[in-house]
Amino acid sequence: MKNITILGSTGSIGVSTLDVVSRHTDKYCVKALTAHSNVDLMYEQCVTHQPEQAVMVDADAAARLEKQLRDVAPDISVSSGEAELVSVSERNDVDYVMAAIVGAAGLLPTLAAARSGKRVLLANKEALVMSGKLFMDTVKENDAELLPIDSEHNAVFQCMPHPYAEGFQHRGVKQILLTASGGPFRQTPIEKLVDITPEQACNHPNWDMGRKISVDSATMMNKGLEVIEACWLFHTQPESIQVVIHPQSVIHSLVEYNDGSVLAQLGNPDMRTPIAYGLSWPERIDSGVQSLDLFDVARLDFERPDEQQFPCLRLAKSAMLAGGTSSAIMNAANEIAVDEFLNNGLPFTAIAQVIESTLEQLSSHVADSLDVILEDDLLARQTAKEMVRRLAA
């Protein structure tokens, strides 16, 4: 029996994780669930999955949850605050931590899971983008297991030779082909992008996801973050990763070998497949995902990404190449810009502008401690907000 903490259980990945876990109650036991403030869904999840602990980051939400659970599930301990996210990730009796908080808020608890030697199921790509080498070193030093949940990285993981820790060139791998749907605006004329609304941006053609990652997919910053994520996970550099637009989202990524072989992982676009693989690796379990019907799919298309249409892809690659805290600065600026787009009317095309200008204004530092990373993250948020104010003026 493996005991699990799910960070971000009320989100899209969290809900899919509980769906897979509930199909295998003989194998997995939910010890702790966490969320920001969605009391209604957390209440339902607590009643259904009976964790020992539920954490709501928001204190009012925690108080409401505790009150609601008092009669139906009094044994569930409810707490609040960011420090509690770290403590449920470190629990001695927990084997696996699903890291499915969105954005930088997930960094500390995800890192805590790695530090305490857990199997880390990594959906929260921003945590790795921000802390790169520090995160990978923490995994190694503490004998943690890092299983990528992002569908592309999970696909690459499935197609890679194991082990590949010394760098994949040692195992005859030539390059990674990272697929991307291209999002909802792949074919939108570039001059129309300025008018895009949050509702349009969140309406992804193939995947049903949280709002932040949906906007990232629409700007293709998601793919930029994923290039950085793949560099760290598979010990490589952006020049060995080719982004391939594949609008059907059936091939989740590919690995090309020196002998000309190209291995791919295919499946319906449903996150329960990578989640199930992360949970059960090296075995396979049922995920509830429908069989892929190739006759239904009928054709698979591929295109080169257009970096003029999607400048975020270029920005992410150059942040990775610049090294140090550049990726953390870029991630923070993106989080601010996406939030301003979703909530305060920042134009869609200004997202890339805010990121680029923040990267230009700040200098990168050696990212060898959490303090340095968090300091530059904070500075980048302030700089990006200032830029947003100037654009609005």
Q: Which of 66, 84, 150, 340 binds Mg ion (CB under 5 A)?
A: 150
Residue 275 CA to residue 149 CA, distance in Å, equals 6
| Dihedrals phi, psi of 176, to nearest 5 degrees | -100, 135
Burial class (CB in 10 A: 0-12, 13-18, 19+), 155: buried
CA angle at 59 for the pair 14 and 214, rounded to the nearest 5°:
35
DSSP label of 81: S
CB closer to ligand NAD, 270 vs 357: 270
Task: Give least dist CB 317 to ligand NAD, A.
Answer: 18
CB closer to ligand NAD, 11 vs 278: 11
Q: Which of 18, 62, 88, 271 binds ligand NAD (CB under 6 A)?
A: 271
By C-alpha distance, which of 180, 181, 171 is closest to 236?
171
Q: Within a 10 A sphere around the Cβ of 392, how many other Cβ atoms?
A: 12
CB closer to ligand NAD, 126 vs 377: 126
| Binding partner of 229, given ligand NAD, Mg ion, none, CB within 5-8 angstroms per partner class | none
3 state SS of 312: helix
- Give yes or no for a contact between 215 and 342, defined as CB atoms under 8 angstroms apart: yes
Site map (CB under 6 A) of ligand NAD, residues 326-355, x = contact: ------------------------------
| Binding partner of 279, given ligand NAD, Mg ion, none, CB within 5-8 angstroms per partner class | none
Choices 28-36, 74-82, 145-153, 303-311; region in contact with Mg ion by CB under 5 A? 145-153
CB closer to ligand NAD, 243 vs 357: 243
| Binding partner of 314, given Mg ion, ligand NAD, none, CB within 5-8 angstroms per partner class | none
- Rule CB under 6 A: say whether 383 interacts with ligand NAD: no
Helical spans, DSSP H, in the chain: 12-22, 39-49, 59-72, 82-90, 107-115, 125-141, 151-159, 198-201, 211-219, 221-233, 272-280, 294-297, 311-322, 326-344, 350-361, 370-392
Contacts of 385 (CB under 8 A, 6+ apart): 336
Residue 351 CA to residue 338 CA, distance in Å, equals 7
Residues 141-180 within binding reach of ligand NAD (CB under 6 A)? 150
DSSP label of 290: P
Site map (CB under 6 A) of ligand NAD, residues 108-147, x = contact: ---------------xxxx---------------------
Count, residues near ligand NAD per rule CB under 6 A: 26
Site map (CB under 6 A) of ligand NAD, residues 9-48, x = contact: xxxxxx--------------------xx-x----------
CB closer to ligand NAD, 72 vs 83: 83
Burial class (CB in 10 A: 0-12, 13-18, 19+), 288: middle
Site map (CB under 6 A) of ligand NAD, residues 51-80, x = contact: ------x-----------------------
- Kindly list the residues in this chain that would bind ligand NAD in the complex (CB under 6 A): 8-14, 35-36, 38, 57, 100-102, 105, 123-126, 150, 207, 209-210, 212-213, 271
